[in-house]
Structure 1
Amino acid sequence: MPITLPSSLPAFDVLAREGVSVMSHSRAARQDIRPLKIALLNLMPKKIQTENQFARLIGATPLQIDLRLIRMSAHRTKNTAAEHMAAFYRPFRQARKEKFDGLIITGAPIEHLPFKDVTYWDELCEVFEWTQTHVHSTFGVCWGGMAMIHHFHGVQKHLLEKKAFGCFRHQNLAPASPFLRGFSDDVLIPVSRWTEMKQDEIDAAPGLVTLLGSDEVGPCLVEDATHRALYIFNHLEYDSTTLKDEFDRDTAAGSPIDVPVNYYPDDDPSQMPTNRWRSHAHLLYGNWINEIYQSTPYDLDRIGTEVRD
C-alpha cells in the first residue's frame, strides 16, 4: 500500500521515481480503508531533504500511510522557501486538536544550547505532553529524542570533546524486541553529533530499555513503553551522501572536521560512500509502523484514552 502525500510535495515525485508507492489525497479518499495517520514534526533546517528521508522509510510498508507535516508555531525557518512551508506545513497550534497514530520528531542543529535556551522549548514541551493524549506512538530522532527523554526522565545530554562523526557498529541488545525484528547482531549506523546520552543515566531512569548501543558512541535506540515512545540518537534515515554533504560543506568553509569514520571506501573522501545501513533503516521504521498498526485503536478519537495490552 502507498504513502499518501500531496501530489505537489517534492517528495511525491522523488519517491515515485525511486519506486516507492505514493498516492494523492484525492485518490486515497476513494478507498474504503483507514490509513495510519503519521505526523512529522520537522525541526531540521533542510525541510525537503528531511521529508524525503522519512517519507521514504514509512512509505515502504504494506500499509497505507497518511503523512502530515507540522512545524513549531512561532519558529521561522531560514533554509526552506516560505511558499513551501505555507503550502505543506501546519503550525502545532493548529494541529494540536487532532489525534495521530504516530509522530516523528526530528533532530535539530542546536545541540550546543541548553534545552531551556531553545527559543521554542516551551512549545516543544507542550508537544511532548500532548503526545500522551493525542498520539499513539512517538519516535524522537537525534536531538528530538534527547529532548524528549530529558523532558520525561530528566536524562541529560553531555557535550563531547570531539564530534562523533561517521558510521559506527552498534550491538543488538534486545533481539526479542518487536522493534528489532529481522535485525542482525550488529548494525552499522550513521552518527553526526556533538553530544551524547550516558548509558548509566538511562539505566537509572525507570522504564527505559536500551535496544541498540555502541561501545564507541554509546546508547542509540531506547524504548520508553510508559510514554509509548522510541528515542534514537543516531541517523538510520540518512541518505547515502548525507555525511559526505556535511563533510564537503565544512571542508569548503575551512571549518575543522575529520573524515567521517568507516564511511568512505578505504577512508578515502575522493571515493563515493557505500550505503550499508539502508536495510536496517527500513526494518526499524517498518517494525515501528507494524507495532502501531497492531495496537492503535481503529477509532482515532480513542487514541490516548485506552490502556495498551
Structure 2
Amino acid sequence: MLVNLPYNFPAIKLLKEEGIFIQPQSEYGMQNMQPIRLLVLNLMPLKVETETDLVRIFSGSPLPIEIDFLKLTTHQSKNTPQEHMQMFYKSFDEIHGQNYDGMIVTGAPVELLEYEAVSYWPELSAIFDWAHNNVPSTFYICWAAQAALYRFYGVPKHLLSQKKFGVFKHRVSSENTELTRSFDNEFYAPHSRYTEIRREDITSPELEIVSESDEAGLYIVVGRNGREIYVTGHSEYPPYRLHNEYLRDKGKGLDIEIPKHYYRDDNPSCKPLCRWAAHRYLLYNNWLNYYVYRSGLSDFKK
C-alpha cells in the first residue's frame, strides 16, 4: 500500500511488525499516480497511537495517500515528545494556503469542559472554519464531531449519567448516502465518551442522520451532502484500545465499569472480541472513495 509518510515516522515501524508495508517518502517518487492529500488534526494525547491507528486503516486502500499532520500552536502536548511534534507536525500557518482532498479531526479528552472553556477553542474554531470553506470533505471523530456540530449548527452536547463505554450495535438510518454502501444491516462500533448529541437537536436541513444505536445513540451524521462527516464513536480503535482505557481509568481510581459487549463473557481477563474491524475499513474507505477521491476528480473550487 502507498501511504506517503516521512522515512522515520514511527507508524512505519510499528505497522511493519504487524505485516503492513508503508511506503516512506524516499521511495514514493517511483509512483505515477497523483496521491490523495489528507490533513489530520490530531488532538488525542497519545499522538503516535492515533497516527498508527489511522495509517493502519489507510494501508488497506488501493489509492495512494499523502498525509500531513497538523498541530495546534496554542496547546502543547504533554504526552508526546516535542521533538516528535516538531519533526512530523505542521502548524496551521504552514498549511492553510495548501489544497487538501480530505481532512480528519480526532477526538480530545476535553468533553467535560464547555467548548469556550477549552484553552485552544479560538484556534480550533479558526481551523474548523477554514476546513468548512476549503476542504472537500472533513471527517470529525468523537469530541471533534460534537464540537464541529456546535460550531456550525449550534448543536448542544449533553452530559451522560454514566460513561458510554463499550462496543455497541448500530443500524443504518438512511440509505441516501454512499458512506454506508455495503454496510451490514447491523454492525458494531466502539464508543468511549461522557457526553452525547441527541436526535432532537439535529434540526438543520443540511444535516442527515445516517446511523444510530439503541444503546449508544447517534453514531453518524452527514453534513452538506458529505462535506462533513460526524462520527461520535471510535471506529478507528484497534482491538485492545478500550481494554487499555479501562485499565488506565481503573488505575486512576475512577468509578469505571467494564466496556459493554467487549470482553468474552464480560470477563476482563478474557481476550476482547473485535467485531468492528470490517466496519472500520469500510467506513473510512467509503469516505475516501466517494467523498475524498471523487472530489479530487471534480473541480471543487468551482
TM-score normalised per structure 1: 0.94
Whether 1:230 aligns to 2:232 is no
1:287 aligns with 286
**1:38/1:68 contact within 8 Å kept:** yes
Amino acid at match of 2:278: S
**2:226/2:291 contact within 8 Å kept:** no
Which stretch shows the higher mean deviation, 287-296 or 161-170?
Answer: 287-296
Any unmatched runs of 5+ in structure 2? none
Runs of 4+ in 1 over 3 A off after TM superposition: none
Structure 2 counterparts to residues 1-309 of structure 1, below 5 A:
1-202=1-202, 204-225=203-224, 228-298=227-297, 303=300, 305-306=301-302
TM-score normalised per structure 2: 0.96
Please state how far the C-alpha of 1:176 moved relative to its aligned partner. Answer: 4.8
Q: Cα gap change, 1:227/1:172 in structure 2, threshold over 3 Å: closer, same or farther?
A: closer
Amino acid at match of 1:19: G
Which stretch shows the higher mean deviation, 13-22 or 52-61?
Answer: 13-22
Which stretch shows the higher mean deviation, 12-21 or 112-121?
Answer: 12-21
Please state how far the C-alpha of 1:25 moved relative to its aligned partner. Answer: 1.2
Q: Partners of 2:289 and 2:18 in 1: how far apart?
A: 22
Please state how far the C-alpha of 1:26 moved relative to its aligned partner. Answer: 2.2
Which stretch shows the higher mean deviation, 146-155 or 124-133?
Answer: 124-133
Please state how far the C-alpha of 1:90 moved relative to its aligned partner. Answer: 0.9
Q: Percent identity?
A: 37
Partner of 2:137, secondary structure, is strand
Partner of 2:211, secondary structure, is strand
Any unmatched runs of 5+ in structure 1? none
Please state how far the C-alpha of 1:206 moved relative to its aligned partner. Answer: 1.8
Q: Partners of 1:103 and 1:114 in 2: how far apart?
A: 24
Please state how far the C-alpha of 1:227 moved relative to its aligned partner. Answer: 7.1
Q: Partners of 2:57 and 2:178 in 1: how far apart?
A: 17
Q: Cα gap change, 1:54/1:127 in structure 2, threshold over 3 Å: closer, same or farther?
A: same
Q: CA RMSD in A?
A: 1.5
Partner of 2:250, secondary structure, is helix
Matched positions, count: 302
